Structure 1
C-alpha cells in the first residue's frame, strides 16, 4: 500500500476525531476559498479581508479560548492544525489568525479583567473587532526590555507616547494591544482606533507577506482610562507569554507551506519532460523530493508532540523555540528547492513556491529570529546567557 505523500508516518492516525474534523474543515476552506485568489492578492499587495467572516464562522479566531466568550474551546493540537492548513494557503492569512487569536484575544483573556473579556472577546471571535499587537519598536525587535514607548499615569488616565513597527493587522485593527514602560514596569493597554493621537501607517514596498497588512503605530499623548489597562500582569512576562502562544502556532504553519511547495514540485516534476523523460524520473530530483518528505515528516512529529505537551500543560518556551527554529528553517529551504525544481516557471506567482519562499523570509524572522531561538537552546544546554 502506498504511503500518503505528505504524511509518511501516518501522523493523521494519531489525531482525535475532533482534531481530524478541524483539519478537514480548514483544508476545505483553504482549497476552495483561499487558493483560487491568494496569488492575485499577493501580486496586488492586498489582504483578502472578504474572507474574515468565513474564518470567524469556522471558529478559527481565538479557537483555544473558552466557549463562554464565544470561542470554539478547541485544544492546542487543533489550533496547530488550523495554522498548518491556513499557511498551506498563505503565511499572511495564518499571520492574521495568529495575531487575532494569540497576540490580541489571548492577553485579554489571560491578563484582562472579566469586564474586558466580556466586552471584547465575543466580538473578536465573530470577526467584528480586529486587533493588532504593539510590541516591536523601530530600534530593535529582539530586545523588548529596551522598550522606548512609555505610559505615564495622569489622574485616572494613562498618557502613552512612542511608536511600534512591523505590526501585523495595524491598519485593519479596531483595537491595539500596546505594551509600554510605566513606573511599575511594562504594562499592556487596549487602545481603540480613533483615539486622539493614535495613528497607523501601512508599510509599503514589501516583497514578503504581501497578502498581509503590516503597519507602523504612532502614539502622541494618547490618553486612555485606567479601565483600558490589562490589570493582571506587569513586566516582560506579559508580552513574552503572548509571544509563546503565537510562536506555538508558527511552529505548525510552516509545515503547511512546505507541504504546498512539495505538492507543487512533485506534480510539476512528473509532468515536465526534459531529455525525453519526466524530471521526476531522474535520481537528482528524487533525492531532493525524498529529502523534503523526510524533513516534513520530522517537523510533523515535532509539532504534534509539542501540541500534546501544550495540552498537558507541560510545554516550555524553550521547546517552542526549538520547533520554530527547526520548522521555519525546514520550510524556507524546501520552498527554495521547490522553486529550483520548477525551473524558470518557479519565479512567477502563478506557482506557489516563490510566494511561500518570500513569505517565509518574514516567518523565520518574526516572533524571534532564527539566531534568537538558537541562542535560547544554547542557553538551555550550557546555562550561560550569550545574548
Structure 2
C-alpha cells in the first residue's frame, strides 16, 4: 500500500507539473517519490517508484512534444541520477538493517546461554530464577545472574549492565564468568565485589557500569553486599526491604562495598530482581508497587509458580509487555525437600550456575 500511494503521488505530481508549465515540464520534481521511498520503504519499492517517475516524465514529454534542450536534458538527468541514488541509499539501509538484526539475534542467543534458568536445591536453600525479555522487537538488555555453591556457602549474584545490545551482553559474560571464578576462592564477600570490579574493568567503556547485589547464605542468615542495585526483599513472617546501611557505587565506578547481615528464618524467601520490575509503569505513570504485590504474590504459592505470578502481576499493572528486561531470583530457606520440584537436582546442577 505505501508503494501504491507513492506511485499515485508521482502521477499527481506529473499532472500538476504538466498543467503548471505545459511544454516545459519540471520533471525533476518527480524525484520526490523515489526519495520518500528510500527513506521509508525497501529497495524494490524505491526501484519501482524511480522507474515509474522516469516513465511518467518521458510520457509527459512525448505527449506534449517537448523539444530537446539543455534545460530539459538536465532535468531528465537529475531525475535519472536521483532515482539511482535513491535505490543505492535504500540498498545500504537494507544491508545495515540486516546487520543490526543479525547482531541482535546473536545477542539474544548469547544472553539465553548466559541466563540459563535455575530450579535447584543447594543444601537447605531452594533457588529459582526467571528472565523475561521485553517485547520481541526491543534491544537485548543487560540483566545477568549467577549462582555458585562454594566452600563459603551458597552465593548468588544479580546485576544489571548499563546499556543494551551486544556490548551489554559481552559485559554480562565477563561479569558472570568473573563471579563464578572468584566466588570459589574469595572468602570475604566485600572482597569478592572489589575483585570482580577490578576483573571487569578492562571490558567496560568510559561510561559503563554494573549495578549488583551479592548474597551469601549461612545458617539462619543472609549476608548482602549491594553495589548500587535495587535492594532485595525478604518475605515471610517479617517482610522487609533489605536496604543497605551504606550505599556503594556500582561496579566500574569505584565501588566501596560494605556487608550487611539479616536474619533468614526457615520458610523465608529472598527476592532479588533487576530495575525493570520496579520501573514498570502503568498508563498513568505510576510505578509498580513491588513490596505490596510481592508480599501477596510470593507468600502462598510454590516458588516457581510465585515468580510466574509476580510477573503476571507486573504485566497486568502495565497493561502489556514490559519495555525493559526483568531478571528474578527467588531463594527460599529451610523448606522440606518434598516441596522442591527441581528439574535439575542439586547433585547434578552445573557447577557455578
Q: Classify the TM-score, shorter chain.
A: under 0.3
The structure where helix makes up a greater share of residues is 1
- TM (normalized to structure 2)? 0.27
Instruction: From the CA coordinates, give the structure whose radius of gyration is larger.
Output: 2
- TM (normalized to structure 1)? 0.25
The structure where strand makes up a greater share of residues is 2
